[in-house]
């Protein structure tokens, strides 16, 4: 076999010259290649097609001599041979008449042309893998779409029940009892999700946000924004989303759209860098370093989800969502940190737990302390349920312990501040921030992340992120290949 520049390989419909000296013969074999195009299913048969000789028979595979070669070096970046420096190629040998079977007519007549083998996996197999991945991802997207339809339908029907029936019942324990079936539905609804990421979003918006809003609606806590006189659309919108209302517009900090988009883009960039770092260099890092990176990812993912949701809602309806956080990494105390972190949860706990408990013990000076401890305890229970729905494994109560410890520390901090120089004494801001964030990170490494690591929730999230990125890449690759072929 001649190994000169006359030999060319075909990638899709692109011809790539192979310079002299880059091929070495490995072995020779006969492989049947169909002469006519039209083999859409790849089985080598062409039903309802007449052969080229006009005998009326179905075309079959024609054995031909081929030579298996290997590319010595990856000198041409257009060769699709992956990360390896060697690739396997198949070239047609000379035919029986001594002429090279390598003209345009015969090449197109062979249908699939020349096979290119990226080392060590054949390209036809690689394309099959890509097609299978695309099919699996398409099925996954279809399942997510079906679950989303069920999710939205369940929420809509449930909130219609609340609007037309429960709202007619006087506020208090009777209305609360009428809402118990809805609480159950919203609690088990995330269990239908098959992905950790979608489960987390469903739990946050349904099991936590909506259930606590309905508790507020049941008892009309602190002038609940849900009015029986409201329209159905407004009731569903306010109950299902953290939408700004008149009672919150004055207290919520507004951010310019330009700054919000800039912040969201920067957060996505940092998130992608951190995920790539964990995926590629996890084995080289100390486990505690990985957990510290997880702390950053946790903060970023909450802000990213809230930011994307706010942008979509603003674009579709013109409504604004309440901010998700307020730069908790700048907190100067634990009390300040939890007042900045995850503001949506903080607000629901303030109205449904803290204020009712404080009112119940209003005659005692430690009423605020009881409200704080109760809020952190309820938050711990909800996070325990959150981990269970993500992992589907029995709770270990580490999450609850984490929030109870932080609740106790916040109470101690409140007592110290009130008794020390009338609350006017403060540590230097930099030192206070360092101690606060350091305490949160250390206790998080101790109690918050271990149940997630033990149940492989972190690995599942990273795999789902990688699958989504792979879906984008394969889709873009397929579109590019089709455009090259048709071009």
**pLDDT recorded at residue 237:** 84
Sequence-distant contacts of 274-283: CB under 8 A, at least 24 apart: 274/300, 275/462, 275/465, 278/462, 279/462, 279/466
pLDDT over threshold 60, residue 167: yes
pLDDT over threshold 60, residue 274: yes
Using H for helix, E for strand and C for coil, what is the string for 167-197? Answer: HHCCCCHHHHHHCHHHHHHHHHHHHHCCCHH
pLDDT tier for residue 174 given thresholds of 50, 70 and 90:
very high
**pLDDT recorded at residue 353:** 94
Name the range with the highest mean pLDDT among 91-100, 119-128, 196-205, 462-471.
196-205
pLDDT over threshold 60, residue 386: yes
- The order of strands in the sheet holding 62-71 is 23-33, 62-71, 87-92, 116-118
The one-character DSSP state at 329 is: G
Give how far Cα 44 sits from Cα of 63, 65, 130, 176, 330, Å: 12, 17, 21, 67, 66
pLDDT tier for residue 178 given thresholds of 50, 70 and 90:
very high
pLDDT tier for residue 14 given thresholds of 50, 70 and 90:
very low
Give how far Cα 482 sits from Cα of 87, 180, 432, Å: 23, 54, 58
Task: Provide, rounded to the nearest whole percent, the portion of the chain with pLDDT above 70.
Answer: 64
Name the range with the highest mean pLDDT among 54-58, 154-158, 259-263.
154-158
pLDDT digits (tens, 9 = 90+) for 404-419: 999 999 999 998 888 7
**pLDDT recorded at residue 470:** 72
Q: Where are the domains of the chain?
A: 8-121
The one-character DSSP state at 22 is: S
**Strand intervals (E) in 72-166:** 87-92, 116-118
Provide the Cα torsion 187, 191, 192, 193; round to 10°.
110
Q: Specify the pTM.
A: 0.69
Name the range with the highest mean pLDDT among 160-164, 273-277, 288-292.
160-164
| SS3 assignment, position 87 | strand
**pLDDT recorded at residue 467:** 76
Computed over every residue of the chain, the mean pLDDT equals 72
**pLDDT recorded at residue 84:** 37
| Of 357, 365, 329, residue with least CA distance to 438 | 329
| Cβ count near 103 (within 10 Å) | 10
450 CB burial (10 A radius; 0-12, 13-18, 19+):
middle
**Structure tokens belonging to residue 52:** 């080229």
Mean pLDDT confidence for 144-161: 90
**pLDDT recorded at residue 324:** 80
| SS3 assignment, position 93 | coil
Q: Tell me which of 288 and 107 has the higher pLDDT.
A: 288
| Of 353, 120, 114, residue with least CA distance to 222 | 353
Contact by Cβ (8 Å): 115, 124: yes
DSSP-based helix, strand, coil % in the chain, nearest 5:
60, 10, 30
**pLDDT recorded at residue 469:** 76
Q: Tell me which of 131 and 6 has the higher pLDDT.
A: 131
Contact by Cβ (8 Å): 104, 452: no
């Amino acid at each position: 076999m001649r190994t000169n520049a006359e030999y060319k390989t075909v990638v899709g419909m692109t011809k790539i010259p192979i310079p002299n000296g880059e091929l070495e013969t490995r072995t020779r074999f006969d492989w049947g290649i169909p002469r006519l195009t039209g083999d859409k299913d790849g089985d080598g048969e062409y039903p309802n097609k007449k052969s080229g000789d006009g005998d009326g028979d179905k075309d079959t595979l024609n054995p031909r001599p081929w030579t298996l070669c290997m590319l010595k070096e990856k000198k041409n970046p257009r060769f699709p041979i992956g990360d390896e420096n060697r690739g396997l190629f198949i070239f047609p040998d000379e035919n029986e008449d001594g002429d090279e079977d390598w003209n345009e007519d015969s090449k197109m007549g062979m249908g699939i042309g020349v096979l290119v083998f990226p080392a060590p996996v054949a390209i036809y197999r690689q394309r099959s893998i890509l097609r299978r991945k695309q099919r699996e991802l398409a099925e996954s997207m279809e399942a997510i779409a079906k679950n989303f339809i069920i999710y939205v339908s369940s929420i809509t029907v449930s909130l219609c029940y609340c609007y037309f029936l429960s709202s007619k019942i006087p506020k208090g324990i009777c209305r609360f009892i009428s809402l118990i079936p809805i609480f159950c539905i919203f609690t088990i609804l995330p269990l239908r999700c098959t992905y950790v990421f979608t489960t987390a979003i469903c739990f946050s918006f349904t099991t936590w946000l909506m259930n606590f809003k309905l508790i507020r609606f049941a008892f009309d806590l602190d002038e609940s924004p849900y009015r029986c006189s409201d329209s159905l659309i407004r009731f569903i919108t306010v109950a299902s989303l953290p939408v700004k209302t008149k009672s919150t517009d004055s207290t919520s900090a507004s951010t310019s759209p330009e700054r919000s988009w800039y912040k969201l883009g920067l957060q996505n960039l940092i998130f992608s860098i951190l995920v790539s770092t964990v995926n590629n260099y996890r084995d080289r890092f100390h486990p505690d370093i990985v957990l510290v990176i997880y702390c950053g990812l946790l903060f970023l993912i909450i802000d990213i989800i809230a930011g994307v949701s706010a942008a979509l809602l603003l674009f579709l309806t013109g409504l604004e969502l309440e901010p998700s956080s307020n730069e908790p990494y700048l907190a100067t105390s634990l009390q300040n940190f939890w007042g900045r972190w995850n503001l949506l949860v903080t607000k629901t706990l303030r109205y449904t737990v803290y204020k009712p408990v404080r009112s119940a013990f209003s005659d005692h000076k430690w009423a605020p302390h009881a409200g704080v401890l109760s809020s952190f305890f309820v938050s711990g229970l909800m996070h325990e349920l959150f981990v269970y729905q993500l992992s589907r494994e029995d709770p270990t109560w580490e999450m609850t312990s984490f929030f109870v410890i932080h609740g106790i520390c916040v109470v101690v901090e409140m007592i110290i501040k009130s008794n020390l120089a009338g609350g006017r004494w403060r540590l230097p801001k930099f030192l206070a921030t360092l101690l606060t964030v350091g305490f949160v990170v250390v206790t998080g490494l101790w109690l918050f992340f271990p149940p997630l690591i033990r149940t492989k929730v972190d690995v599942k999230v990273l795999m789902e992120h990688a699958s989504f990125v792979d879906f984008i890449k394969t889709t873009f690759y397929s579109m590019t290949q089709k455009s090259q072929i048709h071009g």
